[in-house]
Structure 1
Amino acid sequence: MAWLRRKLKVVMMLMMVNLFIFIVSRSGGTGKGEDSKVVVPSKRFWSKLTPSQAFWNLQQQKLDFQRNPVLAYTNSNDTGAGVAIGLIPDWLNDTGMTSDPCQPDDHVPSHVGGYSSLPAHLKDFLLYMRCRSYPLVVDQPDICQTTPGGEPPFLLLAVKSLAPHFDRRQAIRQSWGRAGVLANKTVVTVFLLGNATAVDHHPDLSEMLRYENDRHRDILQWNYRDTFFNLTAKEVLFLNWTATRCPGAQFIFKGDDDVFVNTLGILVFLEGLSGSKAKDLFVGDVITNAGPQRNKKVKYFIPESLFVGMYPAYAGGGGYLFSGDLARRLLVASRYVALYPIDDVYIGMCLQKLGLAPEKHKGFRTFGIEEKYRRNPCAYKSLLLVHSRTPQEMIQIWAWLNDPKLTCQ
């Protein structure tokens, strides 16, 4: 009889478990009661791609499409993509444009609202916006291979300059841009130039430039119109040059020819970096939460017909410091970002494409320092960059910092 009672007890337990499972399954099994139902979306969960009315944003949409491997596959001639081809909006296809991207794009005036009223330099940028390659008329192919010991430079100083700025370049050569061995590290300096054209009322300085280059062998010059809004082209051209001529540079400083740079301070800063920190290094005077300038009287003016949205974080173009490793990645990223007329913003866009952001360093003072500190040598000891300074001030500050008698608290 005992075994019969045990068997009956097991049967009763199984019946109770089955009853519990039945009750839970009737209630949905989710613990949310009878109101829990499977919700079927009434609309598709992706957003339909619509063309932007702002010209740059539209060009970026097209570039995103062309560089997207999935979308590019559906637009290919592969027989398996025949159905998808018809789903691609016509506005994503750059039909009707000139085949040579370095010829003026005659379609721009009719696609940019208010084009006729735009400043001349902005019109010029838009007409040649697709061009990313200009002839290099003055090159220094061996400048990074002729360093002491034949090693790649530890620091490459790249200075954006204009042809008429002879005095600035010479002051830099005699001060913070002095090439050679500094603090046991190899430093190489190059000056980045375009053409100072008669269209912009520049005198013919070609003979003087030829003499300067014969003397110093540190000028890079491309055959394009060197204007404020073409500085972005200079960024891309320099990144290409670096990848070809100076791929081994460990670090790169890139800045204007009217800044003072504490090169010794930069070398000390770089020496203290860890390996992981050095790889993604990009530091400067970072600007955040900024957007396009809509005031027509300001040289940074960008109309809504050209760009809408906020800018990513970017380092002020007066000067910033980054790793050679990151320079190679920036070059690749630049192919995925439409050229933008403000060069420092454009580099911020490229960094964003890489999933990175510039790091703010308090030693970069692109907006200068207080007047009362300008004549104090010790004020420059802890700084890495100060904007702006005259050629005479550059030489004076450099002399201060290299004075062995200088003592600062």
Structure 2
Amino acid sequence: MMDQDFGSVGNGQKRQPIENPCHQTKPLFRSWFQLLLLLCVVVFVLCYALSNSSVSWQTHFALQKHYKWPFNDKNKVYMSSHQVHPKHRHILIEIQTTTEPSTVQPVKTQYHQAYPRNYNFIMDNKEVCKQNPFLVLMVPVAPNNVAARDAIRKTWGKESLVQGEVVITLFMLGLSEGADVDKLQQENVQYHDLIQSDFMDTYLNLTIKTMVIMDWLATRCPAAAYAMKVDSDMFLNIDNLVIMLQKPNIPKTNYLTGMVMTNRPVVRSKDSKWYVSEELYPDPEYPTYTLGMGYVFSNDLPEKFVEVSKSIKPFNIEDAYIGMCMKKLGFTPTSPPDPSQFQAYNSKYNRCEFSKVITFILGPPQELVDYWTDLKKPGPPC
């Protein structure tokens, strides 16, 4: 193009000497070449930057799509409870929490499947704690086990004023296939004592269930003095329990008591109901803990358990897991004033013996009703 332009300078005009066009063309050619080279460099830099930006945004979008992370107004990234479907809560969820991403390095936190704030309460009765109870009895029970709940309501669960102290009894439920939702709601309308969360209610999820109990106590009933996690198949002498807690030497904080278990080996047999793999719990022995049938604790502990559980890998032995929480907090379970009051099994019913204990493990719900009725009949038990 440049040669043609310079070869036809006007119509009929005399050409300039040959050397003049050559001298004019070389500097102009160099300037155009330099400009073109510079333009290529600029285009290359822009394409590279846009390419990196695109990859970055694609990665960011993929992470958002995979984890469904919500962002709050402080640019913190967290996993909210309703975003984990109950059927998938066996998966460990690792998230990153950042504040001011430009200046602070990300801090990794694990909200594992036993962390209770991964779950939502779908049935609640938080107003019951307006009574400022001295003691809250929390009973984990399967949604379909109405018989156990009714037996407790007829016996130790019906006591609302014991030794001058306000006591309330509540049942903790999860989700279960085949459970009649309408009947559960009707039951709660009648008794106002059901708490339900959206975890799957299975034996392997007892640690989740226990930690959800702790979360409920910490958030709904922090003013209570004491609480007890007590199984639904238990005989509970509620009078003896309150008398024990009223003793002046019973601590009001950092206190956990019951049937204390020490130096208990971890069961490694895969055929056992209590099997725990080395991957979940590598140590050969559990820390000191209280047997899960029924343990009592000062009500400052639930909040501490919830907080410290963030850093403790969960396993399926719920009472030993609470023992791990105590160990991590630097506390140790305490033997009750009279250890003989926390019993596991008995060979047969004896009115005198049942009048002295706090706990016994029973069989069918009707057994509880029968024993309680006999214990409360007129006349001295011994």
TM-score, scaled to structure 1: 0.64
> Of 290, 297, 307, which residue of structure 1 is paired with 2:271?
297
Whole-Å separation in 1 of the counterparts to 2:212 and 2:90:
24
Secondary structure (helix, strand or coil) at the match of 1:190 reads: strand
Deviation of the 1:245 alpha carbon: 1.2
User: Identity over the aligned pairs, expressed in percent?
Assistant: 30
Is the Cα–Cα contact under 8 Å of residues 158 and 189 in structure 1 kept in the other structure? Answer: yes
**Change in 2 beyond 3 A, CA 1:182/1:306:** closer
**Equivalent pair of 1:400/1:406 in contact (CA under 8 Å):** no
Larger Rg: 2
Alignment CA distance shift 1:359-1:351 (3 Å): same
Q: 1:130 to 1:216 in 2, by over 3 A?
A: closer
Q: Return the match for 2:173 from 184, 193, 208.
A: 193
The amino acid that maps onto 1:196 is S
Q: Structure 1 stretch 174-183 or stretch 379-388: which is displaced more? A: 174-183
Shift of 1:351: 0.6
SS across alignment from 1:186: strand
CA contact (8 A) 2:122 2:197 kept: yes
Equivalence for 1:263: 238
Amino acid at match of 2:196: Q
* 2:143–2:179 Cα contact (<8 Å) kept: no
Q: CA deviation at 1:105?
A: 7.9
Q: Within the alignment, does 1:222 sit opposite 2:197 as a pair?
A: yes
CA apart distance, 1:212: 0.8
In the alignment, does 2:209 pair up with 1:234? yes
Q: Kindly tell me: are residues 406 and 301 of structure 1, through their superposed partners in 2, closer, same or farther at Cα, counting changes over 3 Å?
A: same
| Partner of residue 161, structure 2 | 181
Q: Given the alignment of the two structures, is residue 139 of structure 1 paired with residue 117 of structure 2, yes or no? A: no
Aligned with 1:158 (options 132, 138, 142): 138
- Counterpart of 1:211, as a letter, is Q
SS at match of 1:142: helix
Instruction: Determine which of 328, 350, 360 is the counterpart of 2:325.
Output: 350
Query: Bigger CA drift: 215-224 or 299-308?
Result: 299-308
Q: Aligned in 2, Cα 1:293/1:227: closer, same or farther, shift over 3 Å?
A: same
Instruction: Quote how far apart the aligned CAs of 1:282 are.
Output: 1.1
Paired residue total: 280
**Contact 1:132/1:233, CA 8 A, preserved across alignment:** no
In 2, the alpha carbon distance for the partners of 1:323 and 1:230 equals 24
Inter-partner Cα distance in structure 2 for 1:130 and 1:222: 13
Would the alpha carbon gap of residues 395 and 329 (structure 1) be closer, same or farther in structure 2, given more than 3 Å must change? same
Match of 1:365 in 2: 343
2:332 aligns to what SS in structure 1?
coil
CA distance in 1, matches of 2:190, 2:135: 22
Query: Secondary structure of 1:143's partner?
Result: helix
Most deviating of 247-256 and 393-402: 393-402
Using the alignment, how far apart are the partners of 1:248 and 1:256 within structure 2?
Answer: 23
Local SS of the residue matching 2:281? coil
Q: Which amino acid in the other structure matches residue 217 of structure 1? A: H
One-letter identity of the residue aligned with 1:136: F
1:392 Cα deviation from its structure 2 partner: 1.6
CA offset digits 1:40-92 (Å, max 9, x no partner): xxxxxxxxxxxxxxxxxxxxxxxxxxxxxxxxxxxxxxxxxxxxxxxxxxxxx
Identify if the C-alpha distance between structure 1 residues 271 and 129 changes in structure 2 by more than 3 Å, giving closer, same or farther.
Answer: closer
Deviation at 1:264, TM superposition (A): 0.7
User: Structure 1 residues 219 and 130 mapped into 2: Cα distance closer, same or farther (>3 Å)?
Assistant: closer
2:312 partner amino acid: V
Which residue, 238, 252, 272 being the options, matches 2:227? 252
Shift of the 194–405 alpha-carbon distance from structure 1 to 2, 3 Å rule, reads same
Q: Flag the 1:281–1:401 CA change in 2: closer, same or farther, 3 A.
A: farther
In the TM superposition, 1:323-338 aligns within 5 A as: 323-338=298-313
Offset at residue 141 of structure 1 (A): 2.0
Q: Which amino acid aligns with 2:215?
A: N
**Are 1:389 and 2:359 an aligned pair?**
no
1:133 touches 1:237 (CA, 8 Å); kept in 2? no
- Residues 330-370 of structure 1, C-alpha deviations (whole Å, 9 max, x = no match): 3332233222221111100011112111123321113x02x
Partner of 1:286: 260
Equivalent-residue separation in structure 1 for 2:115 and 2:246 (angstroms) = 39
1:280–1:323 CA contact under 8 A, matched in 2: yes
Q: CA 1:233/1:107 → structure 2, altered by over 3 Å: closer, same or farther? A: closer
Instruction: Supply the RMSD in Å over aligned alpha carbons.
Output: 2.4
Query: 2 CA distance for matches of 1:272 and 1:127?
Result: 38
The amino acid of 1:359's aligned partner reads: T
Deviation at 1:221, TM superposition (A): 0.3
Indicate how the Cα distance of structure 1 residues 243 and 204 shifts in structure 2: closer, same or farther if over 3 A, else same.
Answer: closer
Kindly state the Cα deviation for residue 132 of structure 1 after the two structures are TM-superposed: 4.2
* 2:280/2:314 contact within 8 Å kept: no
Specify whether residues 355 and 127 from structure 1 end up closer, same or farther in structure 2 by C-alpha distance, changes over 3 A only. closer
Q: Return closer, same or farther for 1:254/1:303 CA change in 2, 3 Å cut-off.
A: same
Distance 1:313 1:267 in 2: 24
Cα 1:257/1:355, change in 2 over 3 Å: same
Aligned residue number for residue 86 of structure 1: none
Q: For residues 182 and 302 of structure 1, do their structure 2 counterparts lie closer, same or farther at Cα, with a shift above 3 Å needed?
A: same
Specify the code of the residue in structure 1 equivalent to 2:148.
R
Note the residue ranges of structure 1 that are not aligned, 5 or more in a row: 1-96, 109-125, 198-202
SS at 2:158 equivalent: coil
